[in-house]
Amino acid sequence: MKIAPDFSPARNETQMRSPHALTLAICLLASGGLAAQTPFTLAQAVDAALKNYPSIRVSQEQLNAAAAGIQLARTAYLPRIDALAQENRATRNNVFGLLLPQSVIPSMSGPVIGSNNTGTVWGSALGALATWEPFDFGLREANVAIAEASRAQSAATVKRSQFEVAAATIDSYLTLVAAQEMVRASQAGIDRAEAILRTTRALSDAELRPGADTSRAEAELAAARTQMIQSRQAVEVSRATLSQFIGTPPQQIAVSAQGLLQLPPAQTPAPADFKTNPLAIEQNATIEQAQAQLRATERSYFPKFAVQGAVYARGTGAATDGERLGALNGMAPTVQDFAVGFTVTFPIMDFAALHAKEAVQSANIRAQSARVDQIVTDLKARWNVALAQLNGARDVAANTPVQVSSARTALQQANARYEAGLGTIDQVAEAQRLLTQAEIDDALSHLSVWRALSGLATAAGDIQPFVAEASR
């Protein structure tokens, strides 16, 4: 933080003679740790936030996951190969009859031998099944498109997160600069209050003014110091807020913002295309993802074709006449088979469910499209508000120098009248407060113009030109 000098006559008169002002300045420097700080420009603060803020890293990893999802979707084109090996020791009793599909009772093959005993034999099996879907009416391609749309949506989310973090960092940076200007103006007010107090004490000691004037001057000095404390508190709060974004401890944060204390060149803002704002781009990517999901749903109600091939071997310790072969018979597969085939399956009764899913997805797409319109409308409103703020801030900035000059002259005249016995301490105190407020208004008027320009850049969706100009 750099405290700009105040060239008011009252401060020049008292700067070297005021131990309180010197002590306060030293405390300000020590409390902020300025000697060990490297000032951040606005561009440097934004860059640090984009590197360090956690939400951006979260979005980036979500993008990496979405990219991996594309590779996952593409594996559906590969054939499926399942291998199996099994050893068991079980009874061999078998019965005629139907058993509905289930996953509890183990299946059994072989003839019914009319026995019912607990004798067990060895059984073994070894095999592999390969399945490949030669065509799918575009379903796999649609699923890959979903994954690609998901990656595009995640990339748009990263851009939107970066944009929002950068915009919040700019706002925090401007707030810190404004708080520091409040400190500078408050320090000038303290210096003037100390000068008035010395004058009233001298006149009171000479019995030219009542002692009540000294008490009033002391009250004004206390009020100025209270304002300074509040201003310093605002600086520390602003530092803590900026620290949240750039990842630097608050005590190590200083800003280099001389350019922000000057008025930017007066220019007419170029028309904005709000559909290029990262918020609108992300929402459009969400719509494309929903449309890809709808296309995949539309391609789900088709037969599924599968080319299959199997190679397997079985072994058993049971004979067809019911006898057990004994020993280790059946522990190794001894009978080999293979098979090839073509399978077609069709979920006939899924039509109603798929039709309902399509209706739901279509409604979601319409809702997401309406949200794009809402985002554009909101951005346009924010642009208009920022434009109105810019015009007002420029008018205020053109008026505050007159306000400061007049307030400074009024304070000089009030001091002269008071020292000549023609004015009251109340008039001096009122003129002092008026000058302090005028200096605050003047300092903040320039920052208000920059803040309005930041609002325009945020609504337009491109803050880089603003950052470059503000960092000069």
The per-residue pLDDT for range 328-371, each reduced to its tens digit, is: 888 889 899 999 999 999 888 888 898 999 999 999 999 999 99
Please measure the distance between the N-terminal and C-terminal CA atoms of the chain and give it in whole angstroms: 17
Q: Exposed, middle or buried by CB within 10 Å (0-12, 13-18, 19+), for 53?
A: buried
Considering only 24-28, 151-155, 304-308, 321-325, which range has the smallest mean pLDDT? 24-28
Confidence label for 36 from pLDDT (cuts 50, 70 and 90):
low
Name the residue with higher pLDDT: 446 or 15: 446
Q: By the 8 A CB rule, do 125 and 86 touch?
A: yes
Residue 16 has pLDDT above 70, yes or no: no
* Token representation of residue 308: 């299959």
The pLDDT value given to residue 15: 37
How far is the C-alpha of 141 from the C-alpha of 20, rounded, in Å? 77
Characterise 461 by phi-psi region: left (phi > 0), alpha (psi -120 to 50), beta (else).
left
Write out the DSSP string of 328-363.
Answer: TTTSS--EEEEEEEEEEE--GGGHHHHHHHHHHHHH
How far is the C-alpha of 383 from the C-alpha of 280, rounded, in Å? 15
CB atoms within 10 A of CB 339: 11
HSE-CB of 162 using CA atoms within 13 angstroms: 19
Q: By the 8 A CB rule, do 287 and 201 touch?
A: no
The pLDDT value given to residue 167: 92
Q: What is the pTM of this model?
A: 0.75
- Percent of the chain topping pLDDT 70: 92
The pLDDT value given to residue 424: 82
Q: By the 8 A CB rule, do 81 and 99 touch?
A: no
Query: Which residue type does 143 have?
Result: N
Which pairs from 378-385 meet CB under 8 Å and 24+ separation?
379/272, 379/274, 379/277, 379/279, 379/280, 379/459, 379/461, 380/274, 380/459, 382/455, 382/458, 382/459, 383/272, 383/274, 383/455, 383/456, 383/459, 383/460, 385/455
The pLDDT value given to residue 417: 85
Confidence label for 458 from pLDDT (cuts 50, 70 and 90):
very high
Confidence label for 95 from pLDDT (cuts 50, 70 and 90):
confident
Confidence label for 216 from pLDDT (cuts 50, 70 and 90):
confident
For 96-121, b/e burial (b = at least 16 CB within 10 A) is eeeeeeeeeeeeeeeeeeeeeeeeeb
Pairing outcome for strands 304-316 and 80-91: unpaired
How far is the C-alpha of 300 from the C-alpha of 408, rounded, in Å? 80
**Average pLDDT over the chain, rounded to an integer:** 84
The pLDDT value given to residue 329: 85
Confidence label for 13 from pLDDT (cuts 50, 70 and 90):
very low
Q: What is the pLDDT of residues 288-340, one digit of tens each?
A: 999 999 999 988 888 899 999 999 999 988 887 778 887 888 888 989 999 99
User: What is the C-alpha radius of gyration for the chain, rounded to an integer number of angstroms?
Assistant: 40
Confidence label for 190 from pLDDT (cuts 50, 70 and 90):
confident
Confidence label for 35 from pLDDT (cuts 50, 70 and 90):
very low
Query: Which residue type does 261 have?
Result: L
422 to 209, 317, 427, 433: CA distances (angstroms): 11, 127, 10, 20
Per-residue pLDDT averaged across 253-282, rounded?
Answer: 86
Residue 27 has pLDDT above 70, yes or no: no
Residue 6 has pLDDT above 50, yes or no: no
Cα–Cα–Cα angle for 183, 188, 191, rounded to 5 degrees: 125
Confidence label for 442 from pLDDT (cuts 50, 70 and 90):
confident
Q: Which residues contact 135 (CB under 8 A, 6 or more apart)?
A: 305
Q: Which domains does the chain have, with CATH numbers?
A: 9-68+143-288+360-470 (1.20.1600.10)
Query: What percent of the chain is helix, strand and coil (3-state, nearest 5)?
Result: 65, 10, 25
Name the residue with higher pLDDT: 398 or 27: 398
The pLDDT value given to residue 37: 66
HSE-CB of 298 using CA atoms within 13 angstroms: 13
How far is the C-alpha of 183 from the C-alpha of 191, rounded, in Å? 12
